Amino acid sequence: MGGLALIAREAGHQVSGSDVNLYPPMSTLLGAEDVSVHSGYDASQWDKAPELAIIGNALSRGNPLVEHVLSQRIPYTSGPQWLMEHLLPGRSMLAVAGTHGKTTTSAMAAFILDHSGHTPGFLIGGVPGNFPVSARLGLGPWFVIEADEYDTAFFDKRSKFVHYRPQVLVLGNLEFDHADIFDSISDIEKQFEYLLRSVPAQGTIVVNADHPVLETLLERGHWSRVVRYSICGAETAEWQATPRQPDCRHFDVTHQGQHLATIEWDIIGRHNMANALAAIAASDAAGADPVQACATLSEFRLPLRRLERVNPGDAIALFDDFAHHPTAVRETLQALRAKNSPGQLIAVLELRSNTMKRGVHRDALGKALALADVAMIRRRADLDWDPAELALDPEQTTLMVCDTLTQIVDTIGDRAKPGDQIVMMSNGNFDGLKDILQAQLS
């Protein structure tokens, strides 16, 4: 919604918004772009009725501003529908879908196309490291969008990505998530089937061959060219990436068995190597030169809060990461493990998503956290389960459940030593924990 506000303003509209729990980086970005955001949903904040209300999927019936819009018959729509009907008709869409990696892969694809002279527009669900904004209209024919499977609005329960009708579609992975709106993985797969039906025959579907569930999805019906990529050596994949070192900061890219380039960057993790390969294959389908794409990625910087080192130079490394699903937690911890740091790996996790608050993935979460030396979990009051129930081997991982931020900060102050790596993982702002720890560790 913040990104939509930015490109609506760029298109010449007068824009303001309403939200709660405002926090960086989006609140900072909106402020810098002079988009006013009101805290709360009191209808009195409007001096006059807007010409159009764009309602995000976080709001439902009973919300004061939603009820005001309906009772006063103010025109309203959803973000995805407004975007496609009013800003992007006729544009070619490069959409990145999947449970994980959408923000990073979208940012990579936009960066590659931009360096290739395409001047794309983009809408990314985070703040990219190589652009000053999370969204822009762009000048060229291509528009890169993070294609989210979450529902569109309270009045449109289809996944947001059904609106986008991409020319190039990336399918990175598919797992169960969003337990508040989906009852099963089958429900999510059905939405992905609808998405596949929207890709034209002359379009391209870029598929991660390392995830068999995506092949099963394709077998249910697709009508477009399929291009596959793999970091695990899948024989069906024409695009391959092979690491030259465990942390994947250097890796080789091949296409149809031919070596294209060696990418050298400061980004770690097999998941980021896979994201890069997906972006290279997708941008190739959009007309970018793949060799140039590989060279461009050497300058790529991760979006904010994607394994972001927030205190460079300090003896104890502090990372901020958006991971909240067990698979993302595992990939983040594996990436930090591969750095071969001499000290402890301390994971600090906030179970904030609806899926994790319900304890849907508790077994998988325990396996993921086993990669850490110390796993600290905030026991929020809105959890439906107790994280202390996680089955972790105490000889391998120390599990610490804290009820308050103060407990977390004090415990880290007592345990952390030079050479340690601490990673905070949350899809929220963790009530400002980053700033508190950064000040303490410094």
* Beta-sheet strands, E only, within 40-108: 53-55, 76-78, 92-97
- Per the listing, tokens 């059904």 go with 162
The DSSP annotation for 326-379 comes to HHHHHHHHHHHHTTT-SS-EEEEEE--SHHHHTTTTHHHHHHHHTTSSEEEEE-
Give, as one character, the DSSP assignment of residue 91: P
Q: How many other CB atoms are found less than 10 A from the CB of residue 40?
A: 10
308-441 has which fold?
Protein-Tyrosine Phosphatase; Chain A (3.90.190)
Helical (H) or strand (E) element with 81: helix 79-82
Least confident of 25-29, 45-49, 165-169: 25-29
CA 423 to chain centre: 17
Domain limits, CATH 3.40.50.720, in the chain? 2-80
The one-letter amino acid code at 376 reads: M
Give, as one character, the DSSP assignment of residue 303: P
* Beta-sheet strands, E only, within 244-307: 250-255, 258-264
CA–CA separation, 382 vs 144, rounded Å?
36
Domain limits, CATH 3.40.1190.10, in the chain? 88-297
Please determine, for residue 127, whether its predicted confidence score (pLDDT) is greater than 90. Answer: no
Domain limits, CATH 3.90.190.20, in the chain? 308-441
Closest CA to 392 of 361, 413, 417, 371: 371
2-80 has which fold?
Rossmann fold (3.40.50)
Per-residue pLDDT, 34:
85
For residue 18, what are the contacts with CB-CB under 8 A and spacing of at least 6?
37, 38, 39, 40, 41, 45, 65
pLDDT in tens, 270-329: 999 999 999 999 999 999 999 999 999 999 999 988 999 999 989 999 999 999 899 999
Q: Which CATH superfamily is domain 88-297 in?
A: Mur-like, catalytic domain (3.40.1190.10)
pLDDT in tens, 360-389: 888 999 999 999 999 999 999 999 999 999
CA 119 to chain centre: 22
pLDDT band at 253, cuts 50/70/90? Answer: very high
CA–CA distances in Å: residue 194 to residues 123, 159, 220, 221: 21, 9, 11, 10
**Would you give the end-to-end CA distance of the chain in angstroms?**
35
CA–CA separation, 102 vs 113, rounded Å?
16
pLDDT in tens, 194-236: 999 999 999 999 999 999 999 999 999 999 999 999 999 999 9
Beta bridge partners of 225: 204
